[in-house]
């Protein structure tokens, strides 16, 4: 899947989560989704944003007794794949450069 399609899919999932009434109750997550979408539309690397969203959705789950609204669960599936792939790229690069 090309980066443009991944970015479009990510923005769609973030928009759905942003509109979710359960997510709106958590001001931090609601603002994070807004800021992340803004960063993507301004050309920031979607992989870095996926790493941050993955971590913050996990924290949201902990704050809400391991419960996620369906919209955030769907977003987590998308960002989780990117997070894992990007983390592997970083690890391989570190080994390659001997750090």
Q: In the prediction, which pLDDT does 94 show? A: 47
Q: In the prediction, which pLDDT does 86 show? A: 66
Per-residue pLDDT tens for 33-90?
999 999 999 999 888 899 899 999 999 999 999 999 999 999 999 998 887 776 655 5
Q: Assign residue 78 the CATH number of its domain.
A: 1.20.1440.50
What mean pLDDT is predicted for residues 21-38? Answer: 96
* Domain that includes residue 11, residue range: 3-96
Q: How many domains does the chain have?
A: 1
Listed residue (54, 62, 45) closest to 84, CA to CA:
54
Q: In the prediction, which pLDDT does 68 show? A: 93
Give the length of the chain.
99
Cβ contacts of residue 41 below 8 Å, gap of 6+? 11
Question: For residue 30, is pLDDT > 70?
Answer: yes
Tally the C-alpha atoms within 13 A of residue 62's C-alpha that lie toward its C-beta.
6
Q: In the prediction, which pLDDT does 88 show? A: 52
pTM of the entire predicted model:
0.80
């Amino acid at each position: 899947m090309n980066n443009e399609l991944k970015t479009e899919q990510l923005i769609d999932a973030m928009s759905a989560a942003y509109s979710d009434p359960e997510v709106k109750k958590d001001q931090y997550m609601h603002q994070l989704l807004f800021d992340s979408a803004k960063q993507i539309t301004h050309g920031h690397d979607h992989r870095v944003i996926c790493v941050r969203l993955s971590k913050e959705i996990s924290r949201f789950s902990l704050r809400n007794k391991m419960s996620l609204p369906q919209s955030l669960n769907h977003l987590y599936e998308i960002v989780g794949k990117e997070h894992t792939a990007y983390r592997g790229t970083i690890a391989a690069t570190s080994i390659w450069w001997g750090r």
